[in-house]
Amino acid sequence: MSRIIAFDYGLKRTGIAVTDELQLIASGLTTVETSAIFSFLSTYLAHEKVSLFVVGDAKQLNNQPSESTHLIHEFVKKLQATYPHIPVKLIDERFTSKLAFQTMIDSGLKKKDRQNKKLLDEISATIILQSYLYHR
């Protein structure tokens, strides 16, 4: 089988998570500078087969688009244009950052380690991917 990749897209950084080949387990992969995301994907896809991209879609509590929705949708358009053979699914990402931060606390990370925004983005991407796997 192939993997599924999830993105917690941000203006500066993008957290990335990936499934195993059986698409059962979501794991954090990395966080990359958003400006380098397509370079990273090019290298990754040269070595791994991916059947789906999952992108966290930012919404407000009232289900309206957030300030970053436009940026996320532009990213999705570029993903679709660059990799037309890989479908893209948008998943509601409300509360993923809070869940990721709570996960960091629950795992016993020290305060200094919890301030690592790259780790927070990677955990957020993992939560987005796990949510997709749970609800598919």
* CATH number of the CATH domain containing 15: 3.30.420.140
Q: Give the dihedral sign, CA 124/125/130/131.
A: positive
Identify the domain containing residue 88 by its residue range: 3-135
* Domains in the chain, number: 1
Using a pLDDT cut of 90, give the percent of the chain over it. Answer: 62
DSSP 9-52: --SSEEEEEEE-TTS--EEEEEEEEGGGHHHHHHHHHHHS-EEE
pLDDT digits (tens, 9 = 90+) for 73-129: 999 999 999 999 999 999 987 666 666 556 656 666 566 665 657 767 888 899 899
pLDDT digits (tens, 9 = 90+) for 99-108: 655 665 666 6
Tokens standing for 125?
């991407």
Tokens standing for 22?
């059986």
pLDDT digits (tens, 9 = 90+) for 35-70: 999 999 999 999 999 999 999 998 766 777 677 889
Containing 71, the helix (H) or strand (E) segment is: helix 69-82
